[in-house]
Amino acid sequence: MNRTLLLLLALVAASAVAAWNVGGAMGAGILAGALCGGSLAALGASWQQLMIRTRPKRAMAATVEVFLVKLACLLGSGLIFRFVPQAAARADWRSYLVAFAVCAFAVMIVGTFENARALTRGRDAARAKDTTTPAVLADPTLREGGTL
């Protein structure tokens, strides 16, 4: 998760600089979209990591659940910034949607790669502890609980 969080911080800092330079409602939309999209993607990566550690068979289901939550938040907040006049006065809905999508996608990719790496590391560790390898099965002392 370290790379995911570092990327999130870098994206939020870059979006803050871009928002400062653009200013106005468009800048507020950039900053709001980056914060919401990046935060949701980082939360989703954490959820996936928890599922990998506790219930590895639900890792794919967690990925789909996280995607659906991000999609619902993107749709709901985009509609709010588009059709609620008070919100539209504060943040531009187009810049919000673009910043949300860019940050959510970037953080999601890095988080997924980190979680996949953790999953393969766990699988390799389980293989190292496996006592059903041919060498163990061939030696009767090792089958009875002896040590290598």
Per-residue pLDDT of the chain (148 residues; tens, 9 = 90+): 688 999 999 999 999 999 999 999 999 999 999 999 999 999 999 999 999 889 888 888 988 999 999 999 999 999 999 999 999 999 999 999 999 999 999 999 999 899 888 877 766 665 556 555 555 556 555 555 555 4
Indicate the pTM of the whole model. Answer: 0.79
Is the separation of the CB atoms in 4 and 115 below 8 Å? Answer: no
Q: Rounded to a whole number, what is the distance in angstroms from the first to the last CA of the chain?
A: 35
Of 73, 79, 107, the closest CA to residue 91 belongs to 79
Q: What is the torsional sign of CA 41, 43, 47, 48?
A: positive
**Cβ neighbours of residue 49 under 8 Å, at least 6 residues apart?**
1, 111, 114, 115, 118
